[in-house]
Amino acid sequence: MKERPIELIFEEVRAQRQLTTEPGCRFVSNDIAMLYTIEPYKNNLPVMLRQPYRLREYRIVRVLKGTGLYVINLTEYEVSEGDVIFCLPNDIIELRHISRDCDFQMIAPSERMMPDLPSIREMGLQQGVCFNLEASARQHISAYFELLWASLFRTPFNAGAVCHLLASLLFALKPLYEAHETNSSTHLPRREEVFRQFLALVNQYARTERNIDFYADRLFLSPHYLSGLVRETSGKTVMDWINRSVILEAKVLLKHSNLLTYQIADELNFPNPSFFSKFFKRMTGMTPGEYRNE
């Protein structure tokens, strides 16, 4: 019988003793978690470096200082002071590096705490993003984080107030994100905009769709044109990106589920376990079992 992947969700977070609620630096409840500082956990991070995890809640991260290297789905981000990272449920994230002086704050609300707000829909987010705030905007967003932090520890806990503060934070972030996107789009060549749309589709469909024609049709392009555009923009082929996405999914299932290899092969729409194992070995240099046990 298949068992669900062990993901970064509150049931697992609460099970880690070092991440239980503590007024000085963290708060964890059924529907929302907040990390005020990462300083106490630098020698005992709750996630392993260079290991992908699937999210089941939102993440709003504010980088206070230092630098880090994150991968959200297939996109790599070098983050630094003033950056905001926004991740959606089902995003696959990987923390590849953080500097010794890195510190950040994080809010992780469940979907129950994040109603279907117009600000989320209007942002048009299909996957996680990272963008930088100017100095004045940093102070403004910091005030929301501070108010949310104080509200989480009020007795009795006022879920309605917290929900409305989250909504206010999103409405405050919305124009800042839109300004970032406008500036980025102004400087991005058309081919890079199409490439970003292509990656979003790969993240969404690679489990089941591994044919170039499918992605070309979705982008209203010919397969030949899409192949050339992707190679010119990224230095990799369309199939390279599709295969990378499939491997990312496979790594999550191998490290964070109790599924057997043949079940993972079935989950990822391989014709048989042998085909999946050979594909994984070719892409990573390890068998699925070796990767799971390393």
Q: Which residue has the higher pLDDT, 271 or 120?
A: 271
The top-scoring range by mean pLDDT among 86-95, 126-135, 269-278 is 269-278
d(CA 159, CA 179) in angstroms, rounded, equals: 31
State the number of CA atoms in the 13 A half-sphere of 174 facing the CB. 15
**156 preceded by cis ω (within 30°)?**
yes
pTM above 0.85, yes or no: no
pLDDT for 17? 47
Residue 11 pLDDT > 50: no
Angle at 145 between CA 139 and CA 148, to 5 degrees: 145
- Joined tokens for residue 226: 């899409």
Q: What digits encode the pLDDT tens for the residues 266-291? A: 999 999 999 999 999 999 999 999 99
Q: What digits encode the pLDDT tens for the residues 177-189? A: 888 877 765 555 7
pLDDT for 189? 78
Domains and CATH numbers, the chain: 10-186 (2.60.120.280), 190-293 (1.10.10.60)
pLDDT, mean of residues 260-267: 94
The answer to whether the CB of 1 falls within 8 A of the CB of 7 is no
Q: What digits encode the pLDDT tens for the residues 17-56? A: 444 555 567 888 888 989 999 888 777 776 778 888 888 8
